[in-house]
Each structure stands twice: as C-alpha cells, then as structure tokens.
Amino acid sequence: MKSHVVIFKNMQGFGWKQNRAKLVFFLAIAEQDIPAMKKIIHTIANLTENDVDQLLVLEDQILRDKVIQLVKE
C-alpha cells in the first residue's frame, strides 16, 4: 500500500463544527510511512490562518510543491 495525501480547498470554507475549514487534508498512511506522516501532521497543525489564505490562492501544482517544501523544512 502507498501513502496518499489529498487536499481539498474552498475559499468560503467547509463547515466544521463552529469553524470554517478552507483547507481539508485527507491522509492515507502506509505503515512504513508513519514517521514521515507524523511530520506532515505537525506541519499541517502549525499552519496559521495567514498561511492557509496564502496557500488557497495557489494553483494546484504550486500548492502541492509548497506543501512538500513546508514538510521538508
């Protein structure tokens, strides 16, 4: 099994409890990738609202590259 990350973006935000989620990450994690995915989860958790707003305006391929860059930092 391979790991996958899927990102949904919506400028208005998806309803999530009492908040609006503008970026939604779905992670399918293969057992061998668990240590790397922990880093991805921490990176996502540390995104500020400003970071999210900047990511929202990027084209899909550029968004993908930027998220990869953030994880590698």
Q: What angle do CA 23, 48, 4 make, to 5 degrees?
A: 40
DSSP 9-38: EEEEEEEETTEEEEEEEEEE--GGGHHHHH
Domain span at residue 9 reads 4-72
Q: What is the pLDDT of residues 48-57, one digit of tens each?
A: 999 999 999 9
Q: Give me the residue label for tokens 């949904």.
A: 8
Name the amino acid, one letter, at 18: Q
Q: What is the pLDDT of residues 22-68, one digit of tens each?
A: 999 999 989 998 888 888 899 999 999 999 999 999 999 999 898 88
Q: Give the chain's domain count.
A: 1
